[in-house]
Amino acid sequence: MLDKSSSDSKPSNALSLFTENPHGLFGCGVLEKNMLALLTLFIFVNSPIIEQEVVLETNNRFLGDIRPHRSLYAEDGTLILGAQHQFFHFDLDSGKLIRFFGRNGQGPLEFGDIRAVNWDGSYYFIVDARALKTSLVDASGELIWCKPFYFRGLNGTHELMVGDCKGATQEDYRISSPTLKLFQYTPKGIEFLSDYFHPVSQKCLDLGLNYSIHFVDMDEKHIFVIGQVHPEVFVYDKQSLKEIRRMKMKMPGFVSGPDSFPKFGMPPDMRQYWKWHWSWSRINSLVLADGKLIVGYDLTCQEVDGEVCSEPKSGVHIYDMAAGVGKSMKINNGWVLGASNQSLIVFYDWDDEKSADPYYVIKKYRLP
């Protein structure tokens, strides 16, 4: 069903001209009317309505390699953007920087490659993929503890978290496939609350562990899980951890990946690898909001410069679970970080290490 709000007044007025003039604007009559109706539907589905833009105040600081898996729209309405060695905490309403910390290294408050973060209003929970460690830091930036745990992805609060977790020894890291566990954390440490559930598919294992990441969200009764390469959502009962439903997403522009990792020879031609990597789609986020599942995904990219996609494009699929229907829209090179009050929260950056004026912005789009 198309949105009936006032922002749709221009398409509605254009259609009303056909009602008043049976020959159409250009004398083509019914055919022209049908073509414009289809064009109007295309605009509604593919042109999201921007409700607000918030420019993040960074004082011309280059933030680094911001990625969606290490960024977070928190429950208190603030925003965390994670780079490789440090992360930045912003007030989303004003765009002001609340605090940042971290630097390259393996000591206290040093990170080699931040993999995942969480902020519960009191503590930062930070996972380092390089050192295979997890740190808990209080709101003032004081280190509480550092433990040998590694999580590829996180969701929840300190009272109940779902983690895409692995053993943190180098040996376990290389041979074990990541799966999900329930846990909680306190200033004393981490307590696991369940065994592993939701095993990795064989296709993901054949592609390699770098393509076996899960994205998770929860409501009061359920846990929702989607993998990086399959547009299919698994629903688990939060108490029993039994699978109760699967939902396949029909996402326009999503190109399924290969069944196995190709052989590039030794040493590998990295340009050839990155062209292969960008020739198929990957899911990069999962958000649950107001009975809707919101899935962010990368579209394919033909223009690859080294390891960089020169013209990145992203899509968002919004699936209404009650109605059983979905809509998709393009958001250019943005990343979905969350949703709140019927608005989709998307992060954009225009920067590189040579940028004289790096630019970071949050756009809030109306959910269709």
The chain-wide mean pLDDT, for the chain, equals 80
- What is the per-residue pLDDT across 44-80, written as a single tens digit (0 to 9) for each? 355 678 889 999 998 888 888 888 888 899 989 999 9
Residue 292 lies in a domain: no
The DSSP 8-state label assigned to residue 85 in this structure reads S
In the predicted structure, residue 315 carries a pLDDT above the cut 80: yes
Residue 2 lies in a domain: yes
pTM for this structure?
A: 0.82
Residue 1, CB-side half-sphere exposure with 13 Å CA sphere: 6
Residue 344 lies in a domain: no
What is the pLDDT at residue 178?
A: 66
What integer is the mean pLDDT of 296-314? 84
Residue 71 lies in a domain: no
Residue of higher predicted confidence among 346 and 158: 346
What integer is the mean pLDDT of 160-164? 89
Residue 43 lies in a domain: yes
- What is the per-residue pLDDT across 11-25, written as a single tens digit (0 to 9) for each? 333 322 222 333 333
Residue 10 lies in a domain: yes
Query: Which amino acid appears at position 174 of this protein?
Result: R
Domain containing residue 13: 1-47
Question: What's the CA gap between 242 and 302, in Å, rounded?
Answer: 41
What is the pLDDT at residue 70?
A: 87
Q: Are 35 and 24 in contact (CB under 8 A)?
A: no
- What is the per-residue pLDDT across 101-158, written as a single tens digit (0 to 9) for each? 899 998 999 999 999 999 999 999 999 988 889 999 999 999 999 998 888 888 888 7
Residue closest to 115 by CA, chosen among 74, 69, 157 = 69
Residue 129 lies in a domain: no
What is the pLDDT at residue 312?
A: 77
Q: Copy the structure tokens of residue 226.
A: 């989607």
Residue 231 — pLDDT band, cuts 50, 70, 90?
Answer: very high
Residue 34 lies in a domain: yes
Phi first, then psi: give them for residue 52, nearest 5 degrees: -160, 145
What integer is the mean pLDDT of 220-236? 93
Query: Which amino acid appears at position 241 of this protein?
Result: L
What is the pLDDT at residue 355?
A: 54
Number of domains in the chain: 1
Question: What's the CA gap between 103 and 86, in Å, rounded?
Answer: 6
Residue closest to 360 by CA, chosen among 333, 324, 330 = 333
Cβ count within 10 A of residue 8: 15
What is the pLDDT at residue 152?
A: 83
Question: What's the CA gap between 113 and 138, in Å, rounded?
Answer: 20
Cis (ω within 30 of 0) for the bond into 267? yes
What DSSP assignment string belongs to 8-71?
A: GHHHHHHHHHHHH-TT-TTS-HHHHHHHHHHHHHHHHHHSPPEEEEEE---TT-------GGG-
Residue closest to 211 by CA, chosen among 203, 219, 222 = 203
